[in-house]
Amino acid sequence: MVKLSRNILEIRYAIRDLVPLAKKLEREGKRIIYLNIGDPLKYDFETPRHIIEAMYRASLGGHNYYSDSLGIEELREAISEKLRELYSIDVPPSWVVVTSGVAEAINFTFRALLDPGDEILVPGPAYPAYISAPMIYHGKAVEYRCPPEYGYAPDPDDIRRRITDRTKAILINTPNNPTGSVYPAKTLREVLDIAAEHGLPVISDEIYDRIILKGEYHHPYRYSGGDTLYIGLNGFSKQYLMTGWRLGYLYVSGPDRDVDAFMEAIAKQARNRLCPSTPAQYGGVAALRGGDEHLHDMVGRLRRRMETFVKMVNEVPGIEAEMPRATFYVFPRIDASLLGDDKSFVERLLLEEGVYLVHGSGFGRYGEGHFRAVVLAPEELLEEAVERISRFVRRRLS
């Protein structure tokens, strides 16, 4: 019998773990409401027309070849321009790498930094890839607390306690998946100061930076002093409604010697995987240079849907939710008396009522006792989902 890597066998991706069960129930005739995957295009959002047309023209124009492994120059320039325009981040195109989604950027970054036994500090609750990706490279993710009483922002003291001689980087994720939190400026300053004090790179996942529902977004780069390596991760999937195009990027700033060494490590990996989709990259250029009108409409619709969902779910006995400040995720708490643990809760809910949520413990140990809901569906579908959740809960309380 073939012997598989133990690391691979231990990988979990909670967001899709119950898909086989959901598909089985559909085949049996049950109508499933999917609130598990953060894909706006599965609902009533559409990729802006000018982006589609740019990719189409690129393909018709013969741009169907392998591009430069780091990405086409025009897209890297457009990314550099956008960073400067939005956040006054002065990163040259040569410090930008185009990737096949942020998932590839995460893997490139972790593989560049980790040797066996090394650790990366990640926020808990944590997006599942932050936990599983280090395992692939024989490293380990160490979760630090982002507790509800802090608005799901990091606890800097807990970060300090978890730094050891094996720590290779601190990862932050604001706006955050799964909680929808936006980290305060004071917290970001403390975390970036801790990183500088210990000479640790900061990895900043910024994929939801334009999907702000209320309040102000504080870009982490603003609080980096330039003394340590800063690695920003972002992409086109969410804000430009291009999930299936698989287009992302990373950019780097910091001391020249560190940037040069890190960029060479990334370039080696990029060459090894050839390149991202060339026609899609031309669509990315159009996305960055074609205006953000669609984004205002998208955020407005998401805000209304989130307000509806949070209000309704807070009327369900034993469930408590806070209005997130960003993203299209909400992370309600479940009363332990309802059904043992959060994984049992979401699995039984799917079986009995056909609503697919994600169990909070799938986002690490600090997610226990919660579930994550994706609030992208039209309001009438969200209302039906909450009615089903309420029916499920009330049966257990009766």
Q: Which residues are paired to 167 by β-bridges?
A: 119
Structure tokens at 75: 């897209």
pLDDT score recorded for residue 194:
98
Which two three-digit tokens encode residue 123? 């926020």
- The architecture in CATH of the region 49-289 reads 3-Layer(aba) Sandwich (3.40)
Query: What pLDDT does 335 receive?
Result: 87
* Sequence ranges of the domains in the chain: 6-46+293-393, 49-289
Question: Collapsing DSSP states into helix, strand and coil, what is residue 249?
Answer: strand
Find, among 329, 313, 301, 283, the residue nearest to 387 by Cα: 313
pLDDT tens-place values along the chain, 398 residues long: 888 777 777 777 666 778 888 999 999 999 999 999 999 999 999 999 999 999 999 999 999 999 999 999 999 999 999 999 999 999 999 999 999 999 999 999 999 999 999 999 999 999 999 999 999 899 999 999 999 999 999 999 999 999 999 999 999 999 999 999 999 999 999 999 999 999 999 999 999 999 999 999 999 999 998 889 999 999 999 999 999 999 999 999 999 999 999 999 999 999 999 999 999 999 999 999 998 999 999 999 999 999 999 999 999 999 999 999 999 999 999 987 776 789 999 999 999 999 999 999 999 999 999 999 999 999 999 999 999 999 999 988 87
CB proximity list for 207: less than 8 A, separation 6 or greater = 102, 177, 233, 234, 235, 237, 238, 248
Quote the pLDDT of residue 15.
67
Structure tokens at 36: 């598990």
CATH of domain 6-46+293-393: 3.90.1150.10
User: Do 113 and 201 touch, CB atoms closer than 8 A?
Assistant: yes
- Cα-based torsion angle of the residue sequence 212, 215, 216, 217 in order, rounded to the nearest 10 degrees: -40
314 burial level (CB within 10 Å; 0-12, 13-18, 19+): middle
Residue 266 one-letter amino acid: I
Is it true that the peptide bond before 175 is cis, omega within 30 degrees of 0?
yes
Helices 256-272, 101-113: axis angle to 10 degrees equals: 120
Residue 64 identity (one-letter amino acid): N
pTM: 0.94
